Amino acid sequence: MGKIILKKVNKSFGATQVIPGIDLTIEDGEFVVFVGPSGCGKSTLLRLIAGLEDTTSGTIEIDGKDVTGAAPAKRGLAMVFQSYALYPHMSVAKNIAFPLKMAKMDQAAIDKKVTEAARVLNLTNYLERRPGQLSGGQRQRVAIGRAIVREPSAFLFDEPLSNLDAALRGTMRLEISELHHQLKTTMIYVTHDQVEAMTMADKIVVLNAGNIEQVGSPLDLYNKPDNLFVAGFIGSPRMNFVKGEAAKPYNAPTVGIRPEHIKLSKETGSWKGVVGVAEHLGSDTFLHVNVEGIGMLTVRADGDFPVTHGDIVWLTPDATRIHRFDDKGLAIR
């Protein structure tokens, strides 16, 4: 079980308020991702749940029990850190066994669990090595192993993949998702990378300056962002925002249109623009087009769309995929 409820959770460091007051319910077995730019309070929120920071006011409940003042060890959670935080003087086996040893489990049961965790995480051949002799990916697997053996009520991940290279990050992302399907345990995952958030989450919590901007499934956030911040943060490349005259036909001060929802033509369309930089990814090409009276817009084209710097193109936004925002930046629906 691992249902976590935050009620008016507030955190201040001295006079600085980092989290002004958050209400959030995380269901048992959910994969929840906290995403936001650096300094938005997502790591602090995770550390409050873990018990590594004291809550200034408000309550945290895990499975119906108020744990606001409880020590980290008493909350039944396991955490995977960005720096892996392995014990450098212990072998891989001892690292994984550490929480069990602290729980005073008998040696035979510890050995059995360590062997099983090592098998699941492909670490069987490395059990006798020290963390210093492992690659980044292997270290992160040891850290995950150390979390798994405790059978926690929830896993907390604090930007666990940001120290890995791009290729490994992709693989580990899949492994963690797969692990979630196998274990069906609540996972809370903090990242600043919206791709990780979109691909892994059941539910995304978008944070900005300590406030929750929106909570929803990845596709909810993509299709129906509540405000300009979420609209700009979720989706890659980011949404184009159009203001002023060009937005008037849509009856809104600001409209947003994603690069993939703009039709591109060499002959005709609503907006005329000059092609600037073209980023060829093979499958797609992202064109940065300078449109008269609007400015730079990013447009997705097919990978083989024939275009060079300085060409004239015509853009037509898909009217059904236009997002409208009012003066305060909130979505008009």
Partner 1 sequence: MARAVSTRRTVVFTIAAWIVALIIFFPILYTIITSFKSETEAIKGFNIIPSGTIESYQAVQAQSNYFKFFLNSVVLSLGSTLLALLIAVPAAWSMAFSPTAKTKDILMWMLSTKMMPAVAVLVPIYLIFRDTGLLDSRIGLTVMLTMINLPIVIWMLYTYFREIPGEILEAARMDGASLWGEIVYVLTPMAVPGIASTMLLNIILAWNEAFWTIRLTTTNAAPLTAFIASFSSPQGLFWAKLSAASTLAIAPILIMGWFSQKQLVRGLTFGAVK
Which DSSP string do the residues of 263-312 spell out, in sequence order? EEESS--SEEEEEEEEEE-SSEEEEEEEETTTEEEEEEEETT----TT-E
In this structure, the strands spanning 254-257 and 262-265 are: unpaired
Q: Binding partner 1 by CB under 8 A: which of 79, 212, 275, 289?
A: 79
Q: Binding partner 1 by CB under 8 A: which of 21, 72, 136, 276?
A: 72
Greatest extent of the chain over all pairs of C-alpha atoms, in Å: 76
Closer CB to partner 1, 160 or 317, in the complex: 160
CA–CA gap between residue 67 and residue 25 (Å, rounded):
15
Binding mask 44-63 for partner 1 (x = CB under 8 A): ------x-x-----------
* Residue 159, both tokens: 């930007």
Q: Binding partner 1 by CB under 8 A: which of 65, 89, 112, 309?
A: 89
Q: Binding partner 1 by CB under 8 A: which of 12, 37, 69, 73?
A: 73
First to last CA, the chain: 37
CB of 113 to partner 1, least distance (A): 14
CB of 77 to partner 1, least distance (A): 7
CA–CA gap between residue 221 and residue 320 (Å, rounded):
16
Amino acid at 251: N
Closer CB to partner 1, 150 or 203, in the complex: 150
Q: Binding partner 1 by CB under 8 A: which of 19, 22, 60, 78?
A: 78
Query: What is the contact surface with partner 1 in residues (CB under 8 A)?
Result: 50, 52, 71-73, 77-79, 81-83, 85-89, 98-99, 101-103, 146, 150
